[in-house]
Structure 1
Amino acid sequence: MRSEKDFSGMAALSICESMLLAMNDHNLLSEREIVGILRDAAKTHESAVVADGEIETHRAVAVLINRIIAGGNSVRRPPG
């Protein structure tokens, strides 16, 4: 069963994705800048120094962010 923490994380991801899309749509941030933000976030989690029980969570978050970058998930629109 999912916890309230899971739902909070999903909501935060959705809100942030919408904000990044809006910033790109309004020419406030370029796709390159948005991808840079995502890469910075992934690196933060990849290099996190935490207690043993939390490192897997940080690694999983980094993997998710890197999948978003690689997959062209809505922020990275296909050319055309």
Structure 2
Amino acid sequence: MTTPPDVAGTAALAICESLMLALNDHKILPEREIVGILRDAASAHENDDGKDGHAELHRAVAQLINIIIAGGNSVRRP
């Protein structure tokens, strides 16, 4: 069986999303805190200096996180 590309990244995203939903469902973290965490993560990648040679990857990661924020995937919104 061949492992599809970026299986680790996809698994990590699914796990993190489930954790954020559970934290919100159990009223451990409110939606604004979860969105703040996501914004911080996006900002870290947006502000990356690209010295590691992965500037395109960092831009893509920031873009994906911002799409998740806009889509509400990690918080259950009515």
Report the TM-score range of the alignment, normalised by the length of the smaller protein. Answer: 0.7 to 0.9
Runs in 1 of length 4+ with deviation above 6 angstroms?
Answer: none
Q: Tell me the percent identity.
A: 68
More helix by share: 1
In the superposition, the TM-score normalised over structure 1's length comes to 0.85
Q: How many residues align?
A: 76
In the superposition, the TM-score normalised over structure 2's length comes to 0.87
Extract unaligned runs of 5+ from structure 1.
Answer: none
Look up the equivalent residue of 1:61 and give its one-letter code.
V
User: For residue 41 of structure 1, what is the aligned residue in structure 2?
Assistant: 41
- SS of alignment partner, residue 70 of structure 1: helix
Look up the equivalent residue of 1:19 and give its one-letter code.
L
Point out which structure has higher relative CO (alpha carbons under 8 A, 6+ apart).
Answer: 2
Extract unaligned runs of 5+ from structure 2.
Answer: none
